[in-house]
Amino acid sequence: MANEPKKPLLEITGLTRRFGGLTAVNGLSLTVGEGELVSVIGPNGAGKTTLFNLISGLDAPDAGTVTFEERDVTGFTAERLASFGLARSFQHGRVFGNLSVLDNVLVGAHTRLRAVKPRIPVVGPLVELALALIRPPSVRAEEERLRAEAKEIIALFGERLTPRLDKPAHSLSYANRRRVEIARALALHPRLLLLDEPTAGMNPTETAEMLEIIRSLKARGLTILLIEHKLDLVMQLSDRVVVMDHGARIAEGLPAAVASDPAVIEAYLGHKAVGAANQDSANQDGGRDAEGDASRILVAH
Ligand SMILES: Nc1ncnc2c1ncn2[C@@H]1O[C@H](COP(=O)(O)OP(=O)(O)O)[C@@H](O)[C@H]1O
Ligand SMILES: [Mg+2]
């Protein structure tokens, strides 16, 4: 069996999404194998977030298919996909502001439970309501178990979140809200985790912490599809890198090979370098700086 190639967990073929005259994702094909960490990189506007929206059911493609665990899930809702174990974080962080850190993470666990419970139409919600009101010992024990598990997941982020378990998410720093969002995705026990720029807005120390967290998730066997602008992190973590530009895949391969691919360097030079765009939006100096940064970022690791 050892020689048998693993079936891809996620398989995308010919995925296309148009917004008016703009083709944000253009005939993209991509596979992610079980346990793999695949990074999607590319200049701003390349179509990376749109791709994640199509995979995670937030948006529907104009053409192409998304297959998850050999099931065609094209056009399925985000909730249904979550119930299959597809979890994501958002580029700009989405948490429930009025809920505590702990409750935000518990939302992820409840999504999972709803998925595994048999659905009893009409009576089902009433039974759930009755159980919630009466709270028999079995329900209380289950709640306790979920809370303990949520705290364990939160502890992955060291002391960043644990002292703030009961704080409303709106009171957290931007970086902490992003951590809560990832914790919530993990509470879903995902089969596939999509992370959209998990280190955006983070300083170098916070970025290094996030790198270690992603590394530990990968070491536990979690399959991860990662969008990330910080190429140093991409180079360290990825089994494979897919490069997008203008909605299409322009390169794919091992991190080092992709970094030296002329088409990739050209894509970064043609736009403003991603690193430069991120770190220094005030710099309007255009081409020359972009060139310096692109070369530096692409060879760095
Ligand atoms: N809902 C939308 N309506 C119109 N255009 C969109 C929408 N979402 C994304 N776009 C456009 O699609 C292109 C790809 O965007 P996006 O997927 O966010 O790129 P990336 O994440 O790689 O920076 C951009 O030109 C963007 O302006
Ligand atoms: Mg994006």
Atom of ligand 1 nearest to the CA of 227: 21
Cα 68 to Cα 76, 169, 218, distances in angstroms: 11, 32, 19
Q: How far is the CA of 45 from the centre of ligand 2 (A)?
A: 7
In short, whether 45's Cβ falls inside 6 Å of ligand 1 is yes
Query: What is the C-alpha to C-alpha distance for residues 90 and 227, in angstroms, rounded to an integer?
Result: 10
Cα 197 to Cα 5, 96, 150, distances in angstroms: 30, 19, 23
Residue 226 burial class via C-beta count within 10 angstroms: exposed 0-12, middle 13-18, buried 19 and up:
buried
Q: What is the pLDDT along the chain (301 residues), one digit of tens a residue?
A: 445 556 799 999 999 999 999 999 999 999 999 999 999 999 999 999 999 999 999 999 999 999 999 999 999 999 899 989 999 888 777 899 999 999 999 988 887 766 555 556 666 677 777 777 777 777 788 888 999 999 999 999 999 999 999 999 999 999 999 999 999 999 999 999 999 999 998 999 999 999 999 999 999 999 999 999 999 999 999 999 999 999 999 999 999 999 888 888 888 777 654 444 444 333 333 333 333 344 344 543 3
Q: What is the pLDDT of residue 117?
A: 57
Closest residue (by CA) to atom 26 of ligand 1? 45
Atom of ligand 1 nearest to the CA of 46: 22
Q: What is the pLDDT of residue 165?
A: 96
Dihedral sign of CA atoms 44, 47, 48, 49 in order: positive
Name the residue of 22, 51, 229 to mutate for ligand 1: max ligand atoms within 8 A of Cβ.
22
* Domains defined along the chain, listed by start: 8-85+190-299 (3.40.50.300), 99-183 (no CATH)
Q: What share of the chain is helix, strand, coil (3-state, %, to 5)?
A: 45, 20, 35
Q: How far is the CA of 191 from the centre of ligand 2 (A)?
A: 22
Query: What is the C-alpha to C-alpha distance for residues 19 and 21, in angstroms, rounded to an integer?
Result: 6
Q: What is the pLDDT of residue 243?
A: 95
Q: In the β-sheet with 86-89, what is the strand arrangement from edge to edge?
A: 86-89, 192-196, 223-227, 37-41, 240-245, 248-253
